[in-house]
Amino acid sequence: MTIDASTSIRSSHESVGLGTDQDNPLTNARSQLEAAARTLGFDHGMHQILANPRREMIVQIPLRLDNGGVEVFTGYRVQHNFSRGPAKGGLRYSPHVSLDEVRALAMWMTWKCTLLDVPYGGAKGGITIDPRQYSRGELERLTRRYTSEILPIIGPERDIPAPDIGTDEHTMAWMMDTFSVASGYTVPAVVTGKPVSVGGSLGRSSSTSKGVVHIALAALEHKGLNPARCTAAIQGFGKVGAGAAELLAKAGVRVVAVGDQYGAVYSSKGLNIRHLAEHAGRTGSVAGFAEAEPVPSEALLELNVDLLVPAAVEGVLNRMNARKVQAKVIVEGANGPTTADADAIFQEAGTLVVPDILANAGGVIVSYFEWVQGNQAYWWTEAEVDERLEHRMLAAWHNLLETQRKLGLTLRETATATAVDKVAKAHKIRGLYP
């Protein structure tokens, strides 16, 4: 990595039209890029190339409802960069989806793939909808219409979607089938996170949680903490949070608090994660779990614990609550859960924050494994997948620590600068066309 602190760049407010709302995920993502560009001594042109998506598509999706009515939804697919390979990123169904959110998530995917040495660029998709309000049939029709609208820009060599908030392996099966029907033959590698029965990879469904826990345990030990004597709080009890809670408990960490969008629960003795999962499966939430006491959702982030895993949505750790956070280690299971203001506060307090582009990269690593298997039509055992996942995660962790010691930056600054530098070098080697 070449660093020239004497080289100046324009403010991102000038170069990319950055807003002033520091809780906006795109503002947060571009702020991180700006810091990396300054560290690396990039000129205005390179900064602009990396700050803006290569391609964006906005589509209107008419959906015929079960009652015969029609609603129209807005969908997005943003491809931030593909200098190092095809674009890769999840598909999110949420009432909070916006173009700026998808742009930010696509940018973070670029850095994540690069940091973990996965040969992809970043992408992200989303539809502004609350999937809980619609039937399975309605969601299938929505997914198939969305897929048909973005067909020109996706494919195994172009852009490979995967599940995210509000979507799952069935969503990916519908996408794969829609793409395959349009192609005239089955194309398993067009998406990842599929059911194993149609070309998915063993170990994919739990991969993000496993990656988070590999890094969390390593981070605790790095801080001189014995995981078997540590406590943890987890915000989010979906695909990532629930799996992380189970795996941390198996590793001996006492998970004392878990929350979701409906509420949070606490037990000083440690939660029985299996019983909590059964309760959440029956009721749809951790709220009301009889073996624990309720706590306000915002209070969960401020508990006196060793480890905090925000595994829900972006921006939950911000200037309003960062000074109240007592955790010694924060491992970001979600994308973008910490704003720039909160980062500065945590740095001042000596709190170790492991950034999302490393901590939750297990999903994209095993998505890459699935893509490789799909292209080769040769499938690995779950033990092989898990072993390769652990190796990739821990190798990236140790490489990040080594680079941090050389640069004297925070882990996030180091991770972002490392990834940004690799993407810029790939772009320079390829050159501008025409």
The sheet that has 55-64: what strands, in order across it?
Answer: 55-64, 70-79, 121-128, 87-94, 159-163
Task: Give me 213's structure tokens.
Answer: 């826990």
Question: What is Dmax (Cα atoms) for the chain?
Answer: 65
Return the SS3 of 381. coil
Class of domain 54-186: alpha beta
Q: Where in the chain is the domain with CATH 3.40.50.10860?
A: 54-186
Percent of the chain exceeding pLDDT 90 equals 87
Position 22 scores a pLDDT of: 55
- Where is pLDDT greater, at 14 or 371? 371
Distance of CA 106 to the CA centre of its chain: 10
Between helix 382-407 and helix 362-376 the angle, nearest 10°, is 130
DSSP conformation letters of 183-198: HTS--GGG-SS--GGG
pTM of the model: 0.86
259 forms beta bridges with: 235, 264
CATH code that applies to domain 207-359: 3.40.50.720
Whether the predicted pLDDT of 377 surpasses 90: no
Write out the residue limits of the CATH 3.40.50.720 domain(s) in the chain: 207-359
For position 13, what pLDDT does the model report?
Answer: 31
pLDDT at 239: 86
Q: Is the pLDDT of residue 5 over 70?
A: no
| 3-state secondary structure at position 206 | coil
Which residue has tokens 């440690």? 270
Q: What is the per-residue pLDDT for 192?
A: 94
288: CB partners within 8 A, 6+ apart: 263, 279, 294
**Are the C-beta atoms of 239 and 205 separated by less than 8 Å?**
yes
What is the secondary structure of 104-129 as a DSSP string?
A: HHHHHHHHHHHHTT-S-EEEEEEEE-
Judged by average pLDDT, the poorest of 23-32, 168-177, 358-367 is 23-32
- Segment 50-75 shows an average pLDDT of 97
Which pLDDT band holds residue 374 (cuts at 50, 70, 90)? confident
pLDDT of residue 205: 85
Q: Is the dihedral of CA 86, 179, 360, 47 positive or negative?
A: positive
When pLDDT is cut at 50, 70 and 90, the band that residue 23 belongs to is low
Q: Answer yes or no: 124 catalytic.
A: yes
DSSP 292-361: SEEE-HHHHTTSS-SEEEE-S-TT-B-TTTGGG---SEEE--SSS-B-HHHHHHHHHHT-EEE-HHHHTT
Q: Which residue has the higher pLDDT, 16 or 389?
A: 389
Catalytic residue among 112, 124, 210, 422: 124
Average confidence score pLDDT of the chain: 91
Compute the average pLDDT of residues 138-165.
96
Question: Residue range 325-329: average pLDDT?
Answer: 96
Please say if the pLDDT value at position 213 is more than 60: yes
Res. 172: pLDDT tops 80:
yes
Determine contact, residues 398/354, Cβ cutoff 8 Å: no
pLDDT at 77 over 60: yes
**Burial track 368-389 (b if 16+ CB lie within 10 A, e otherwise):** bbbbebbeeeeebeeeebbebb
Are the C-beta atoms of residues 154 and 187 closer than 8 Å to each other? no
Decide if pLDDT at 15 tops 50: no
Of 148 and 336, the one with more pLDDT: 148
Q: Rounded CA gap, 255 and 107, in Å?
A: 32
**Residue 266: which H helix or E strand, with range?**
strand 263-266
Q: What mean pLDDT is predicted for residues 192-216?
A: 93
Count Cβ atoms below 10 Å from residue 425 Cβ, excluding itself.
14
Phi-psi group of 114: left, alpha or beta (phi > 0 → left; psi -120 to 50 → alpha; rest → beta): alpha
**Is the pLDDT score of 343 beyond 80?**
yes
Residues across the chain: 434
Q: How distant, in Å, are the alpha carbons of 38, 48, 58, 156 from that of 34?
A: 6, 10, 26, 31
As a whole number of angstroms, the distance between CA 271 and CA 251 comes to 14
Q: What is the mean pLDDT of residues 129-148?
A: 97
352 close to 414: Cβ distance less than 8 angstroms: no
Query: How far apart, in whole angstroms, are the C-alpha atoms of residue 308 and residue 233?
Result: 5
Q: How far apart are CA 89 and CA 104, in angstroms?
A: 12
Please report the pLDDT score of residue 21 as a whole number.
Answer: 60
